[in-house]
Each structure stands twice: as structure tokens, then as C-alpha cells.
Chain A
Amino acid sequence: MTEAELVRRAQGGDAAAFLLLYERYRRGIFSFAHRLLGSLTAAEDVTHDCFASVIGNFQRFNPDRASLKTYLYAVARNLARKHLRDPDNEASEEIPEDLATPVGPLDQLLDRELCDAVRSAIERLPPLQREVLVLCEYEDLPLAEIATIVEADLGSVKARLHRARTNLRRILAPYLDGVPDSHLVEDK
């Protein structure tokens, strides 16, 4: 069944169709929100609000005009930006327990250190660069789709992506020079 058919069935009140769509995109939306906000609870709230917004406005969504994936990421991006603008929502430094407690061999300790370094470096990027980098590097979206989501033209997206990579190389220079080959091989 195509996505458009699933969307139409979900719009008609088919709970199973909605559940399929939700399971298809929940992980991506949550990851995107988490990498933008750096907080588990904020990412959970944004993911929930994103799907709640879709539920409330599902009848107005036209699957022939845009993909649901693009629509969901655009909604999540707007919610995340709104969350960042709110002065009451400060960036949380919370770390999940399963990642916060390094146990085991030295490789896990090194992975943990690299994870924190990357996370910290991405959080230091300006929001416009950060969202473009996350959508490109982590969500593997094409540039045209990213431009639609962030409501910018293709040239601006490319420029932001270039600046984000340049900044990351500068911030992560010690790790880039010293990344052991064994780590790179293990991830493949």
C-alpha cells in the first residue's frame, strides 16, 4: 500500500493506517527533535505535539502535493524552533542512563567520549546550520526536501551546510586527527 493510500485511509478514520504511519516516522522525528534540542523530554514533547498537530489537521493534508515525511519534519522543525525561542526552556544537559554510565572495555569509553564531543559540537552550531546538518547527515534527506522543510531556497541550504561542516571540522579538529581507524571500521 502506498503512503498516499495510507494517508487517505488514516484521514478516513482508519486507526490501523494511522498507526502504520506513526510507526514509520516516529523514530526519525524523535531523533531530529532530540538532535535539535539536546533534551530527551523536549524531544518527546515535540514528537508528541508534531503527531498531535497532524491528527488535528489531517483532513487538510493533501498527500498529492507533498509527502507526509516532509510535512512531519517541517512541523517538528517549527515546534523545535518555538521551543528554542521560549526562554523558559533552557537546553538540558540530561544524559540517558544507558549512555551515561560507561561500563565495559576501553572502546565503550572512547565511544562515549566521541559521542559527547560530537553532540557538544553540533549543539554549538547556530540553529539554522544545525537543522540543515541534522537533516542531511542524520536523516539522509535530499537537499531539495531539506529546502522545503526549512523554508529556504536550495542555495541557502547548501551555504548553511557548508558553513556547518566547516565549523564542525574546526570544533572537532582534535578528534578528526586522532580518530582511531578501529572505531571507523566498527561502525561500518
Chain B
Amino acid sequence: MNRDLKELLKKWEIPDLPPQLDERVMATYSSRRRQPWIFRWTGSVRLPVPVFALLLLLQLVSGGVILRNQFFANPLPAPVLSMPERVVEVPVEKEKVVTRIVYLPASAAGNPDRRPAYAATNAESEKQPMDLTGFQPVSEFRIHVIKGGNRNER
């Protein structure tokens, strides 16, 4: 750059600073200093876009997981029917199963047609005479009532 142009440019002088400028700036500084909490309401945080996207994704995923867990842990309760309670007495027929031993005469033992269906069919037990020596009836007779329809019923 030629020296003449450089010297010519220096002819443009700037006036002094306006006196109110200092007051305005210091007033702004003081007001901001007195209210540091203002940042909590008006402040902003700069985030790179990838970080923001990652945070948003994490937020969505975690929110979805929490909602899913809450739904399966506490399913919708069954609707409660508000019906008045009343007590009804109904007759219950108890079924009694009695086991008994039937002794058949020897003549009928050989003929299977004359034996009842519930008679024992063990051939050896039929051939050997029963020894009742020392037999004593039980002092207490207990009857077990088994409800019908049970598969384990004997």
C-alpha cells in the first residue's frame, strides 16, 4: 500500500466515546451480577448434534423400556363385579366307598361264572385257606370319604 493512501486514511478520526456508554455497560454488568440465578431461566447450553441425537435416542429407549416394564408388571386388573353377596345352603351328597372282603364257598371258587365281578381273582389266595389265628377286630373303625371323579380313587 502506498504511503500516501495510508496517511490519508489516518485523517478519519473517531470522536471520543460517549460518556453514557460506560454507565450503560457497567449497569448491565451489575444487573447480571446481582442476578446469577437468571442463567437458570435464560441460559442456554450448546450441544453438538450427534450428542443431542444420542441423548434423544437414549431418552426414547429408556422411556419405552420403563413403559413396557410397567405394563407387564402390573397388567390391567380384572373388572370387579359389584354384586351383592348372599349365602345359599345347598345339600351335598357325600359318597361313601366301603371296602369289604367277600368269602365264597369252595364250589363257587372254581367256577368263574359264579364269582362276582369284584371278587379277588388271585388263584393262590383262593387255594390257600385263610388263617385267622390271632385275628382281632380293630378297636376304631374309620371311614374315608373320597369324592367322586377323582382319578386316584381306588
Interface size, chain A (Cβ < 8 Å):
42
Q: Is the CB of A98 within 8 A of B29?
A: no
The one of A52, A56, A96 that contacts B25, using a Cβ cutoff of 8 Å: A52
Verify if A40 is at the interface (C-beta below 8 Å from B).
Answer: yes
In the complex, A124 has a CB within 8 A of chain B: no
Q: Of the candidates B12, B20, B32, which one forms a contact with A56 in the assembled complex, judged by CB atoms under 8 Å apart? A: B32
Measured CA separation A119–B28 after assembly (Å): 32
Instruction: Find the residue from B13, B15, B16 having the highest chain A CB count within 10 A.
Output: B15
CA A169 to CA B46, docked complex, whole Å: 45
CA distance A169 to B5 in the complex (A): 7
Tell whether A98 pairs with B15 under 8 Å between CB atoms, given A18-B29, A22-B25, A118-B9: yes
CA separation between A115 and B33, bound complex, in Å?
41
Q: Say yes or no: A118-B12 contact (C-beta < 8 A), given A179-B4, A179-B7.
A: yes
Closest Cβ–Cβ distance, residue B146 to chain A (whole Å): 85
Closest to B24 in A: A48
Does the CB pair B15–A187 fall under 8 Å? no
Cβ of A137 under 8 Å from chain B: yes
In the bound assembly, the distance between CA atoms of A26 and B18 in angstroms comes to 11
Within 8 A of B (CB), among A98-124: 98-99, 111, 114-115, 117-119, 122
Cβ contacts B10-22/A at 8 Å (1 or 0 each): 1111111110111
Subset of 18 A-B contacts with CB under 8 Å? A15-B29, A15-B33, A18-B29, A19-B26, A26-B25, A44-B21, A47-B25, A51-B25, A51-B29, A52-B28, A56-B32, A99-B15, A115-B13, A165-B1, A168-B5, A175-B8, A179-B8, A184-B7
